[in-house]
A = this chain, B = another copy of it.
């Protein structure tokens, strides 16, 4: 029997590296340290190993402690194909954590060592959602897990303690609405809808990268400047004033041409449309999963507020907020650490 174990969990995405160092006493977890580093991998993939090292130093982990890792950054256009991306990321991990035991989470819900991961790279692609789902399935046996992040939303059916997705690849999950490529920070409104009402008409959008949903939720007061962790589209400030200027540009206007009320109505409308987008995806997932009874939704992520609204909009009453204090708003990293703790316990 082990008394206390410390394990590091990693979620290596295309725009953020998140990590947590967690101590377990039996089933009781305590997050010692959590780290989140914004890192857009396509700007300079060769920096990945260094960024992992820096994040690791911030975690203050000790060499002998194991690392559990989920990877999604392989989708980045820094890599020609996912296979190439996974190999690259594995190599960066090896450079960053030379003497530490590293376990790569796979799409079967188990762990590979580096050799196994190198042999089956596609089994290590886009695994973060599965780590979260497996972990939550241990706690909430029947639920829909909704994790709304900066960029994407995972909607995962859990039935009798099992993750019951039909498909495990990104493309398969997109088709099934279990992955919705829509989040509360980086999403361009163009990806949600193509027009807004303006002065009793419908105004189409400029198809540019002028603004993101982070501006919308900053204007509406749903997020703070601290939560706005992605860069602004125009490199200006994370203030409501600058966010309004960015949002006005979405319809080729500016803050002289539109009133504040008009811009804020645009924000309200876009938020509503994104809520509907998530609501519809939840309905589809519910229909496919065919639960025999009413089940709760578990909401988490930077956009947990949106997940809750989307669920309530379709009449779901039972909404459980996965306490972000437990995982420091990084459920996948925390989950993979937790799953690795179980895995090692069984070895």
Residues of A within 8 A of B (CB): 42, 75, 77-78, 80-83, 126, 151, 169-171, 174-175, 177, 179-182, 187-188, 190-192, 194, 198, 201-210, 233-234, 236, 245-246, 249, 251-257
Q: Tell whether A233 pairs with B77 under 8 Å between CB atoms, given A206-B181, A207-B187.
A: yes
Other-chain contact of A204, B77, B180, B205 (Cβ < 8 Å)? B180
Is A257 a contact of B169 with CB atoms below 8 Å? yes
Is A170 a contact of B82 with CB atoms below 8 Å? no
Give 25 A-B contacts (CB < 8 Å), ordered by A residue: A42-B234, A75-B249, A77-B210, A77-B233, A77-B234, A77-B246, A77-B249, A80-B254, A80-B255, A81-B254, A81-B255, A82-B256, A126-B252, A151-B208, A170-B206, A171-B257, A174-B203, A174-B205, A174-B206, A175-B201, A175-B202, A175-B204, A179-B252, A181-B208, A181-B252
Summarize A's interface: helix, strand, loop or mixed. loop
Residue of B nearest to A232 (CB): B77
CB A9 to nearest CB in B, in angstroms, measures 24
CA distance A201 to B198 in the complex (A): 34
Other-chain contact of A205, B83, B191, B203, B249 (Cβ < 8 Å)? B191
Is B256 a contact of A83 with CB atoms below 8 Å? yes
Complex contacts, A179 vs chain B, CB 8 Å: 252
Complex contacts, A75 vs chain B, CB 8 Å: 206, 249, 252
Residue of B nearest to A179 (CB): B252
Is B252 a contact of A171 with CB atoms below 8 Å? yes
Q: Tell whether A182 pairs with B207 under 8 Å between CB atoms, given A77-B246, A252-B170.
A: yes
CB A86 to nearest CB in B, in angstroms, measures 11
CA distance A254 to B75 in the complex (A): 9
Complex contacts, A236 vs chain B, CB 8 Å: 77, 80
Complex contacts, A169 vs chain B, CB 8 Å: 252, 257
Is B210 a contact of A181 with CB atoms below 8 Å? no
Complex contacts, A246 vs chain B, CB 8 Å: 77
Other-chain contact of A171, B83, B188, B233, B251 (Cβ < 8 Å)? B251
Complex contacts, A80 vs chain B, CB 8 Å: 236, 245, 254-255
CA distance A209 to B80 in the complex (A): 15
Is A198 a contact of B175 with CB atoms below 8 Å? yes
Q: Tell whether A204 pairs with B233 under 8 Å between CB atoms, given A81-B245, A83-B256, A254-B80.
A: no
